[in-house]
A and B are shown apart, each in its own frame.
Chain A
Amino acid sequence: MSNNLISVNNLKKSFGGLKAVDVQELSFKKGELTSIIGPNGAGKTTFFDLISGFQSADSGEVSLKGKNISSTQPYKIARMGMVRTFQLTKVFDRMTVIENLLFSGSNINNDSFLKSFLKLNSQKLYESNLKEKANQIMNDLNIGHMADSYARELSGGQKKLLELARSIINEPEILLLDEPLAGVNPKLAEDILSLITKLSDTGITILMVEHNIEAVMKISERIVVLAEGSLIADGVPNEIRTDTNVIEAYLGKADE
């Protein structure tokens, strides 16, 4: 139990009569690269919202590093080291790419009104270190040439990259990626996949919701399958590939 970074107990959420999430027990170990798959409407994004605090569960418990975070504010969860991205990419459109990164990388102490008003040297030093880090990450992700463009001018794929860059600038322990490959061309998808693998290799725990099964099978260490809010399968890619429940969930029951 102790090496479980995130564990979920009896987590339930419904919208009206619709049961969005109903998960008995699920936990994620440190360093794992896990994919969450399932047909449309399976509750994958709601599951992410519940564990990252963006929605509150009807009942049940989520714990992060042994702490119950069921009713913790999203920003506090993020500060505990669990950072998420969004299915519909949320970049700061009317800020430049570098500003997007600087904002995300700077800590709350650096953002304070008083420090900004006094323009202390410590803040200037912090900012210049941050800028270096941001440049490094932008170059790693091939968006360095766009540093001074407004984020709204980026292509869909570049926005995905920017969102990823923004999520990793603070070196999170856990990354929740909500469809990192959606609407991205195959070449860029390759790049993003290898980036995700690389991040996983550095020890970051990654949970990923993704529809691209081929990609999921290729990079995941573990796959969790949700259907109609419930957990129907959990295992290594090869097990999932042949699991009858999973095939039924995607293709429907075979007529007898």
Chain B
Amino acid sequence: MTSAKISFRLIFSLFVTAFSIYLVFLLNPDGAPRILLNLFTFAGIYGLSAIGLNVHFGWTGLLNFGHASFMGVGAYVTLLLMPHAAGREGEVTTTGLPFFAALILGIGAAALFGLLLGLPAIRLRGDYLAIVTIAAAEIFRLLVRDLESITGGVYGIINYTENFQKYRPLFIDNFSENLGFSPSQAWVCLAAWVSIFITVLLLKRLSDSPWGRALRAVREDEDAVRAMGKNAVWLKLQSFMLGAGIAGLSGVLLAFNYGSLETTVFIPLLTFYVWAIMILGGVGTITGPIFGSIIFWVIISETDRLAYLLFENANGQQLAGVRFLLVGVLIMFLMIFRPSGLLGKKEELLLDVK
């Protein structure tokens, strides 16, 4: 609880993060800035999503394994409300809402989806909720795939990035040209980190409030919450909506980073990546997932390079195997060294779910 302990955790996290960024430079003598931009864009988007997941799991104790569907709802609703092209024929929709209106509706839709999914599911506890959410996320994905006339199905959605890129300020273009960046990705990256900043401010405001306290009480013991006259189900639904809304925003950013959107983006692996990031960063913390996300993406993106350097004669297939072995070893190493995550408090180690 002491401030000395908190600052040690923070310094340690900053150090590990700085070291992993240094590794990127070390492993990529040329072209490091471009790789870093890509890495930071993904780290920002996934980190934002993990911050949302932390509201579910870290604050409220909800085992949500369907996080990808919240991201998906946000992304699909936003894109479909804007001018875009979808499907095999690339059917063009020229009319639509401006970016910010569509974004707000997309975030709202993700939150609403959280509410709708939560209404029947949230009375379940622990692992039962996990099973229902993972199933719901797959149902969502398959539904989107089969509704080809609206969502473009397996052919996906294209031609929508301009809706967002037209707001790109000029300084990004100048700045990107000097460093060899893709200006459109630099713009998405900036948007992702601004979103993180705003979300962190919002959550900081809420975490010490009576509302945040009530969520943590639900996490600890629902029966006791009920015995104190509080509606635990409603608190859980509110938490579900807030986290889902944040995930929806990160889903939109992910779509703009890819430039085309299809359903395979929202496979369960996405959810598991977000979980890994949250656990690495520290369950129950607000800023932990940011560090977790950067380190996670350094590990994911640089292990193939590392594998290549370690085994020069190996072929691609062998390298792919070694790469995921390295991912596992590095994540294990971090978790053994910091079992409650980079920024997590030992007292609030949250990996035991009732």
Contact = CB atoms under 8 A, between A and B. Distances in A.
Given A111-B211, A117-B206, A75 B220 contact: no
Nearest to B211: A116
A91 interface: yes
Contacts of A119: 205, 209
B227 A74 contact: yes
Contact of A75 (B221, B230, B347): B230
Interface residues of B, number: 31
Contacts of A150: 347
Interface in A99-118: 99-100, 102-104, 106, 108, 110-113, 115-117
Nearest to B216: A95
Given A54-B223, A119-B205, A83 B229 contact: yes
A103 B228 contact: yes
A127 interface: yes
Contact of A83 (B214, B228, B347): B228
A71 interface: no
A184 interface: no
B88 interface: no
Given A74-B226, A113-B211, A103 B217 contact: yes
A92 B216 contact: yes
A179 to B, nearest CB: 15
B223 A123 contact: no
Interface residues of A, number: 41
A45 B338 CA distance: 42
B296 to A, nearest CB: 25
Interface of A: 52, 54, 73-76, 78-79, 83-86, 90-95, 99-100, 102-104, 106, 108, 110-113, 115-117, 119, 123, 127, 148, 150, 152, 166-167, 170
Interface of B: 1, 202, 205-206, 209-214, 216-217, 219-221, 223-232, 235, 238, 242, 347-348, 350
Given A83-B229, A92-B224, A115-B211, 8 more contacts: A84-B227, A85-B227, A90-B224, A92-B221, A94-B347, A94-B348, A111-B235, A170-B228
19 contacts: A78-B227, A78-B229, A83-B228, A86-B227, A91-B224, A93-B220, A103-B228, A111-B211, A111-B213, A111-B214, A111-B230, A112-B211, A113-B211, A116-B210, A116-B211, A117-B205, A117-B209, A123-B210, A170-B229
